[in-house]
Structure 1
Amino acid sequence: MGQYYEVISEPLMQWVKQQKMFWVSTAPLSGDGHVNVSPKGGLYFGLVDNKTFWYMDLSGSGNETISHLYEPGNGRITIMLNAFEGPPRILRLFGRGRVLESWTPAFADFVKKHDVQTLAGSRSIIIVDIHQVNTSCGFSVPVYDFKEFRTTLNDYYERKAERFAQGKEHESMERNWALKNLVSIDGLPGLEIARKVAKEQGITPTKKMVGPMAPDHYYNDKRFSLNHLYLVAVSTMLITVVLIAASSLFTVPAGLSVPKNLLYSPSNANY
């Protein structure tokens, strides 16, 4: 039945590499936010070592995983794989996720170092630093015969890239990300490149939710930068100096006394 480990064993690593589908789950920190589960298909994933899983994140209409991983204090992520053929098995990889956006040097370095195939729709690489591995029985998971991978998404972005190469600026991936990947369904900031392009071009993101649970704003980056922390530290220091200086003005020097008529007591209080 269920077993827990700190690393992925060699037999499990080989089994993971043979899978054709897995699921990704993340959630915002707020209890009012929405838990997200995404199916991933294709051969665009792998293991760096027995504690590090990665997958190619393809462009799409949503970007919940990226938003949750970017949320300050968050980063929680779970990968789940299960056997559709052969002996039953469910494998969960619990960890913290990192985002390597496709325009960054970190993305390029990872692709080169690990010989990763990129696609027209490649948006980022998600790296999972695993801290717990869980296997369970999978006795109730149905048995399926694999037929083929769908090519619809890859074909769509290849055609989009071709139209952009022909001079159709509105077909750029950056514009697509600004429209669709600027925020999560709960209004959390999404792709960094989407935020940059949206600000430069004045793009309003596509509305993603309807009804009372829809956020009342499109985007509000509340993350604290180093500049914010620096200002807080300086402000605290200045306030401390002012308070110390003020207290010294009202301190009675040694050897001096305050006249009794200046001291408060019920007998000399004026009402």
Structure 2
Amino acid sequence: MAKQFPSLTDDHCRFIADQHVFFTGSAAPDGRVNVSPKGMDSLRVRGPNRLLWRNLTGSGNETAGHLREHPRVTLMWCSFSRRPLILQAYGTARAVHCDHADWDELSSVFPPHRGARQVFDMTIDLVQTSCGYAVPFMDFTGERDALSKWTQAKSDADLRAYWQDKNARTIDGKPTGVPIP
């Protein structure tokens, strides 16, 4: 049975720390709903009702565009090993881009990465757990290094040009707020 909580508990935080992947879900008032997997060292629990996650340069930028129109977002973790559990955090978030005044403060909680494009700052208003009994067992064999290698092969100008070409608008044509030179 699902259980609801007003904030993250210590047990929830330990569960989050044990997971290698989480998923973000967002939607503007109209257009497509986006669900995106996130990995690497990209999430920080900053308190019982606050999460930060870093977004690296990628093929899309849906969450940033959606949050400009409506700040609601959901994060989900599910265990693929041991403990059958699904954990969802519901709330609102804002995208902090690399040209924002609080970028240095928020991005400093993560290891440096040239491809860092945004940090999302989320306020949680509800946490829900459910059983996860139908989630399959899967083995974690390691992190992918493809994104880091791709980023290392680009100049800063190349990355900004990529943002302009691939990340400035959502697939529905909405602006994402990514800084464009």
* Partner-residue secondary structure (3-state), 1:177: helix
Kindly indicate whether residue 166 of structure 2 is the aligned counterpart of residue 180 of structure 1: yes
Contact 1:181 1:191 in 2 (8 A): no
Structure of greater Rg: 1
Aligned partners of 1:152, 1:102: CA distance in 2, in Å?
A: 22
Contact 1:101 1:107 in 2 (8 A): yes
Aligned partners of 1:79, 1:183: CA distance in 2, in Å?
A: 22
Aligned partners of 2:27, 2:106: CA distance in 1, in Å?
A: 26
Query: 1:50 is matched with which residue?
Result: 48
Kindly indicate whether residue 4 of structure 2 is the aligned counterpart of residue 8 of structure 1: no
Q: Aligned in 2, Cα 1:111/1:63: closer, same or farther, shift over 3 Å?
A: closer
Using CA pairs under 8 Å that are at least 6 residues apart, name the structure with larger relative contact order, 1 or 2.
Answer: 2
Aligned partners of 1:191, 1:92: CA distance in 2, in Å?
A: 26
Query: 1:202 is matched with which residue?
Result: none
Contact 1:13 1:47 in 2 (8 A): yes
Runs of 4+ aligned residues of structure 1 deviating over 3 Å after TM superposition are none
What are the within-5 Å matches in structure 2 for residues 1-271 of structure 1?
Answer: 1-30=1-30, 33-71=31-69, 74-112=70-108, 115-161=109-155, 164=156, 169=157, 171=158, 173-194=159-180, 197=181
Q: Aligned in 2, Cα 1:41/1:192: closer, same or farther, shift over 3 Å?
A: closer
Deviations 1:114-163 (A, max 9, x none): x32121211010111100000000000001111011010111011103xx
TM-score, structure 1 normalization? 0.64
Please report the RMSD computed on the Cα atoms of aligned residues, expressed in angstroms.
1.3
Contact 1:177 1:191 in 2 (8 A): no
Aligned partners of 1:14, 1:110: CA distance in 2, in Å?
A: 22
Higher helix share: 1
Higher strand share: 2
Aligned partners of 1:24, 1:116: CA distance in 2, in Å?
A: 18
**Structure 1 vs Structure 2: percent identity of aligned residues?**
29
Aligned partners of 2:110, 2:178: CA distance in 1, in Å?
A: 22
Aligned partners of 1:140, 1:109: CA distance in 2, in Å?
A: 40
Q: Which amino acid aligns with 2:105?
A: D
Contact 1:67 1:188 in 2 (8 A): yes
Q: Structure 1: which 5+ runs fail to align?
A: 198-271
TM-score, structure 2 normalization? 0.95
Aligned partners of 1:116, 1:61: CA distance in 2, in Å?
A: 21
